[in-house]
Amino acid sequence: MKSYYPAAITLFAYCCGTLISLSADDPDGPPPLLSEDGHKIVTLDERNDEPGLPIMTFYVRFPKGVSPGDKVDGVFADVTHLTEKENLEAWVKRPSSSDPNFNFADQHKLAVVTWTTATMYSIVDSFNVDPDDESDPGNSMEQCFRTWKMAMNKLCHNYNLPESGYLIYGYSRGAQWAHRIALRCPERFLAIHIHINSSYAEPTPEASHCLWLLTTGELEHGSKASKVFYQKAQALNYPILLRIYPGKGHEVFPEEEQLGLKFFEYVLKLKSQQAIANEQNISLDDEDQPFVLDDSLLTAFRNPPYFGDMLNGDVYPAAQTILPYSQRVGIPNTDIAKAWGYFHP
């Protein structure tokens, strides 16, 4: 009998190792959290390799009635200023009725993904960090980005999330994270809305296929930098909008939220058109490619039907515009034009 002990021990160790491995990647392991209105939420703690940097905690909130692992129609990354796990957990567990982004995600069967955000940049950091230094492996944001990427890969694998075509909204410190991640990983994102961002990184040519909306308050520290980012992005042929609200400062308010959702509605319509075209021209080589809008769908950005004033909010048909060129923003459709401010059809 003794001759069987080594084999038995080996088999036992193998089985235990297999179970541990499965439990680490098994979405059916710990039961999901529940929001106040019954949404299932899964969480992941991802440790930074760099000593001294915080553990990043991720939450995935599934649409009402959808279980982890079920197919969703996309991902809405909603990035806040919250640094503490318990605060972010309370935020993501709120009912959809209390948050227009949650409600939007439910309507479009999108999984909401969010994560804790530590302070990485101060409000004086706009454009003064050298791009080579920014992408240096020792840079704290670069290390957090690598941690973010590892966590997102795990979440996509474990819970059947799509790997591209994301919408992302960030405000305050969340906006500083959101746009820097989008610039580092543009193939994952379809559209970006950043609000009251106090510091900006240099736009890159690689992110010019994404659709961008910048909103801020006239009194916000980063409002001047938002104009610089907008102009630099335009020079790189970004499809981009900028709205600066007079009298507003570092705050979230309904007007920018509604404008952002009209922007995302428009983006999802373009995505639907692209998906139909892809189905008609599908090939095996395309299946694993990131979702990118065809340039032919962006003609309304190149030749907009409306122009809006970035500061005062007046909107006119392109053929009738009387707006000064320095404040003029091309607006691609009527719904966005009506949400811009003061629509003059």
| CATH at 188 | 3.40.50.1820
Q: What is the mean pLDDT of residues 227-249?
A: 97
Strand partners, 146: none
CB 246 within 8 A of CB 311: yes
Name the amino acid, one letter, at 314: D
Confirm whether 286 is domain-assigned. no
Domains held by the chain: number:
3
Identify the DSSP state of 114.
Answer: E
Residues 296 and 326 in one domain: no
Give the pLDDT confidence score for residue 17 in this predicted structure. 41
Q: Is residue 287 part of a domain?
A: no
Mean pLDDT, the chain, as a whole number?
87
CA atoms within 13 A on the CB side of 154: 21
**Is 319 contained in some domain?**
yes
CB atoms within 10 A of CB 148: 20
247 and 330 belong to one structural domain: no
In this prediction, residue 137 has a pLDDT band, given cuts at 50, 70 and 90, of: low
Same-domain pairing of 122 and 150: yes
Q: Contact at 8 Å (CB) between 315 and 341?
A: yes
Q: Residue 284 domain-assigned?
A: no
Residues 217 and 127 grouped into a single domain:
yes
- Strand-pairing partners, residue 77, are 113, 168
For residue 334, CA distances in Å to 91, 266, 297, 343 come to 33, 10, 16, 9
Q: Are residues 57 and 39 in the same domain?
A: yes
Asked if residue 343 has pLDDT above 70, the reply is: yes
pLDDT over 60 at 1, yes or no: no
Are residues 270 and 247 in contact, defined by beta-carbon separation less than 8 angstroms? Answer: no
Q: Are residues 340 and 219 in the same domain?
A: no
* Confidence at 283, pLDDT banded by 50, 70, 90: low
One domain for residues 103 and 25 = no
Report the alpha-carbon distance of residue 269 to residue 259 in Å, rounded. Answer: 16
Residue 130 has pLDDT above 70, yes or no: no
**E strand map for 147-275:** 166-171, 189-195, 211-217, 240-245
Residue 128 covered by a domain = yes
Those residues whose C-beta lies under 8 Å from the C-beta of residue 184, and which sit 6 or more positions away, are 135, 142, 145
Domain shared by 114 and 162, yes or no: yes
pTM of the model: 0.87
5: containing domain: 1-30
Q: Which residue has the tokens 């405000």?
A: 171
Q: How far apart are CA 238 and CA 235, in angstroms?
A: 8
Whether 143 is covered by a domain: the verdict is yes
Strands 328-331, 306-309: pairing kind: antiparallel
What pLDDT does residue 19 have? 34
Shared domain for 45 and 18, answered yes or no, is no
| 203 and 76 inside one domain | yes
Average pLDDT for 57-61: 98
Kindly provide the b/e burial profile for residues 279-315, where b requires at least 16 CB atoms within 10 angstroms of the residue's own CB.
Answer: eeeeeeeeeeeebebeeebbebbeebebbbbbbebbb
pLDDT above 70 coverage of the chain, percent: 84
Task: Provide the 3-class DSSP secondary structure of residue 184.
Answer: helix
What would the pLDDT profile of 68-95 be if each residue is shown by its tens digit? 999 999 999 999 999 999 999 999 999 9
Percent of the chain residues past pLDDT 90, beyond the cut: 73
21 and 149 fall within a common domain: no
224-236 pLDDT tens trace: 999 999 999 999 9
Q: Are 74 and 134 within one domain?
A: yes
Indicate whether 240 belongs to any domain. yes
